[in-house]
Structure 1
């Protein structure tokens, strides 16, 4: 197994292939599935993509494609790394709505090709966003949440009720399994701080139910070096769920404090921001017809920190199992306790206010 990759080809955002795939099998398969595809194939791997290995494919016609696949080996969670779900939502939105998504070509569930399921989509040049374009992101989110998911064939894409309670229960179990993961030196990944306190607070303060398609990972990339990149790429966490989970995820950086030496984008303590989070929340409410201010929005923000902490803990677990796909995995994995503590800070502040 080899990869037709030139290490000197420094395509921005990519590295040489880190998790190897069988290029010969892939070339033969793509020739049959994509009209006009021509070998030989050049492959690079994207630097980001903590969960599913993601590759840039360049055929002999210099046409670019993106391949996303499940990681190799036994996985901690059967629900994680759901590239099949990513394909389903992208295909449905692309064919039936004006929500901006890349074209998907096909889903391959035959493990004989690359050992795990994968799909191919088009490669699109990214767009740089400045502060004013936060509103564009907000309005795109409203457009997604306004889609009638039943009318585009996604009525079975997720449970239409109880999103937060199901997520909290599932993430708690996942976190416990990840915490117990042991590396080659017999060291455990370790638990989130005050996990039981956090879970109990969520149970006592859950917000009213609501339902829409949610992206699940719609955000300013939490770890990029530049604040003016908006990322709308990974649909792995998409489902039918609570729309406020997307809004909180998008605005999470406004509630994040900067940690010196880490790649976190922390805006919480930045003074005189051109656009404060309150204006963006108000814009979302005006476009979506939701009440402003949003009652107990701190619940949605605290949940975003909790979920992100579990995701980062999962990276640490994959490192321990030698399944990590990102070039920066070790940097991200160290942050899960810090991120959990930021969520706990919101929870503790809420508890203090409720006693006043």
Structure 2
């Protein structure tokens, strides 16, 4: 998984910092870079005794968002969850001194497990496929059950109005991203299709789900999980840069995207992933089964909010893709697939607009339903 270093860092300076601050990690180090991670460059370091660790650093250059790329927040939440039943890697240290390797970074354990890139688990048996999905869902539900005050994270985000705050943030961020021009061609990234109408719909309080709060990951999906090498269980959750306190619906929508919006046809148009048709991949749970696992473990009846959440997930995906497109334009993107993602901006925005039009014709949730859970 780790290969040649595309974004060099001062390895000797890193080794000096490690010798002083985390002496349990032995030097000198071998350095490689992972191909995943669209925003925060991620490296593998290996000590002379063969022990492997991961370095996550803030990207260089002028950044569009003040809230993204916060490796200090990643470090804080991973450390806080270390004593809970949520599986996370061990953290060794956080460095906020730019003079060491150019930007802030932290070091955590390398988890020696299975990294699954396809959510239909093509290499697994039907039985294991089913159980690995159960593990992914129940791990998310356990995470949402964590009392953020009890683990010292009560100030990790605001405790209410998550979606209203998201709308405000998305509006500002999208305007900035849309205006970014390519450093070579001068062509702007451009707006998300029907962006103003989409924002108007989601701002309608009568259409929104009941407000609630929990810790949320922000990008919870199968390829951000590490599974045990031989057992169908999660041993670690990765990529915490968007974690905060928010509405748990957002994480559930992200995880269950393959049943609704995570597929693409040859033209980049959104659809359910073909592999998630019950007749195509034996052992995959139905969306109803996934909802039941989540509700039974978390206590939150996510079903009543799912259509709205999926549509909002489309908006969120559009914003993320637009951000990747902006980083590609500025030559700041670190992932190998960044250019391919950037091309999905228009079809993702159009899909979101279609969902909004369908929901516009639905009656608002009545107060009784909102008060139940």
TM-score, structure 2 length as denominator?
Answer: 0.84
Cα distance in 2, alignment partners of residues 134 and 343 from structure 1 = 26
Give the aligned partner of residue 38 of structure 1: 26
Cα distance in 1, alignment partners of residues 154 and 209 from structure 2 = 23
Tell whether the 8 Å contact from 2:38 to 2:335 is kept in structure 1 after alignment: yes
Cα distance in 2, alignment partners of residues 340 and 59 from structure 1 = 45
Higher relative contact order (CA 8 A, sep 6+): 2
**Matches of residues 286-305 of structure 1 in structure 2 within 5 Å?**
286-291=296-301, 294-305=303-314
For 2:264, what is the secondary structure of its paired residue? Answer: coil
Deviation at 1:143, TM superposition (A): 0.7
**Matches of residues 174-213 of structure 1 in structure 2 within 5 Å?**
174-183=173-182, 184-204=184-204, 205-213=207-215
Cα distance in 1, alignment partners of residues 271 and 108 from structure 2 = 29
**Matches of residues 1-356 of structure 1 in structure 2 within 5 Å?**
13-94=1-82, 96-127=83-114, 130-183=129-182, 184-204=184-204, 205-221=207-223, 232-256=237-261, 257-260=263-266, 266-267=272-273, 270-272=276-278, 274-291=284-301, 294-354=303-363
Deviation at 1:14, TM superposition (A): 2.4
Deviation at 1:354, TM superposition (A): 4.4
Deviation at 1:259, TM superposition (A): 2.2
Tell whether the 8 Å contact from 1:217 to 1:232 is kept in structure 2 after alignment: no
Distance 1:126 1:310, change over 3 A: farther
Q: Following TM superposition, where does structure 1 have runs of at least 4 consecutive aligned residues deviating by more than 6 angstroms?
A: 228-231, 261-265
Deviation at 1:107, TM superposition (A): 0.6
For 1:339, what is the secondary structure of its paired residue? Answer: helix
Tell whether the 8 Å contact from 2:14 to 2:101 is kept in structure 1 after alignment: yes
Deviation at 1:153, TM superposition (A): 0.8
Distance 1:264 1:296, change over 3 A: closer
Distance 1:62 1:156, change over 3 A: same
Cα distance in 2, alignment partners of residues 207 and 87 from structure 1 = 31
Cα distance in 1, alignment partners of residues 188 and 65 from structure 2 = 17
Deviation at 1:229, TM superposition (A): 12
Tell whether the 8 Å contact from 2:132 to 2:233 is kept in structure 1 after alignment: no
- 5+ residue gaps, structure 1: 1-12, 223-227
Tell whether the 8 Å contact from 1:206 to 1:299 is kept in structure 2 after alignment: yes
Cα distance in 1, alignment partners of residues 203 and 112 from structure 2 = 42
Cα distance in 2, alignment partners of residues 148 and 354 from structure 1 = 34
Give the aligned partner of residue 8 of structure 1: none
Deviation at 1:122, TM superposition (A): 0.3
Deviation at 1:318, TM superposition (A): 0.7
Deviation at 1:307, TM superposition (A): 1.0
TM-score, structure 1 length as denominator?
Answer: 0.88
Tell whether the 8 Å contact from 1:219 to 1:232 is kept in structure 2 after alignment: no
Cα distance in 1, alignment partners of residues 201 and 34 from structure 2 = 38
Cα distance in 2, alignment partners of residues 46 and 126 from structure 1 = 15
Deviation at 1:331, TM superposition (A): 1.2
